[in-house]
Amino acid sequence: MKQIRIGIFGFGKTGKVVAHEFLNESLFTLAWVVRKSNQDHHKYASRLLGHEFDAGEIFSIEDIHNGFFLERPVDALVDFSGSTGIYLYKKAAEAGIPIVAAISKYEQEEINLIKTFSKYTAVLHSPNITLGINVLMVAAQILQKIAPHADIEIVEEHFKGKKETSGTAVRIANVLGLNVEQHLNSIRVGGIVGRHEIIFGMPNQTIRLLHESISRAAFGQGAIFAVKYLLGQPPGLYTMETIIAEMFRENIPVY
């Protein structure tokens, strides 16, 4: 079977693990990685990640010019860089390359750009690309309809260095119609990869929906799932949440 060529933006805490997950899947070949700095320029991500073959040549953002995506063609692009990474791959979007934009927090300007890209190609944007959190998000909306009078609080926990509020938790608050200032509780300690809990409090019982990413490999697996889904889809804006919601619809009733 023809391998799917992947380009990754971002080679930080998550980008490295995501690259590793793609390298481990025989369906994919990692064509290149773009990082902000010149560190390890033209080396191979595969070698840096402990593999004994060459894949994922490392480029810096200074290497991106109009012809970059024509000279180094890929079948899909995955972004785990930062919120400004998106400005680097306008040409790729215009060329119809499917995009997984996994940045957790964009400003409105970047959201608008994503919408523009989605006129040319299939773009998936989700603040949290794990299967589990999106199952939780859909389940929470169903539970809110079943128990409309429950008190709801969201608790998000991440590693000490994470400055911004969890984009996932903000998204959960928005879909549940909750005020972020009042109902979102953030904890920053140690090396927690990502933990989100939605607590439904009722007079005689408490329901807790909990998701924990115990390894960043969960994001790599989510990205692989997303790329497989996007290939062959028409241009448009997709989210993991709506894909999972569709799966809920297809699999109900289960009894």
Ligand X SMILES: NC(=O)c1ccc[n+]([C@@H]2O[C@H](COP(=O)([O-])OP(=O)(O)OC[C@H]3O[C@@H](n4cnc5c(N)ncnc54)[C@H](O)[C@@H]3O)[C@@H](O)[C@H]2O)c1
- Which of 83, 1, 28, 10 minimizes the C-alpha distance to 227? 28
Q: Binds 166, which of ligand LLHOTIJI, ligand X, none (CB < 5 to 8 A, cut-off by type)?
A: ligand LLHOTIJI
- Examine residue 96 and tell whether it contacts ligand X (CB under 6 A): no
Q: Are strands 76-79 and 57-60 parallel, antiparallel or unpaired?
A: unpaired
Q: Binds 118, which of ligand X, ligand LLHOTIJI, none (CB < 5 to 8 A, cut-off by type)?
A: none
Degrees (nearest 5) of the Cα angle 248, 165, 151? Answer: 55
Q: Are 109 and 149 in contact (CB under 8 A)?
A: no
Catalytic residue among 16, 20, 125, 158: 158
Q: Which of 8, 11, 78, 135 binds ligand X (CB under 6 A)?
A: 11
Nearer to ligand LLHOTIJI, 92 or 124 (CB): 124
Catalytic residue status for 158 = yes
Catalytic residue status for 196 = no
Q: Binds 102, which of ligand X, ligand LLHOTIJI, none (CB < 5 to 8 A, cut-off by type)?
A: ligand X
* 3-state percent breakdown (helix, strand, coil) of the chain, nearest 5: 40, 25, 40
**42: which residues sit within 8 A by CB, 6+ positions away?**
57, 58, 59
Q: Which residues pair with 155 in a beta bridge?
A: 185, 197
Nearer to ligand LLHOTIJI, 10 or 121 (CB): 10
Nearer to ligand X, 46 or 104 (CB): 104
Q: How many residues bind ligand X (CB under 6 A)?
A: 26
What are the catalytic residues? 158, 162
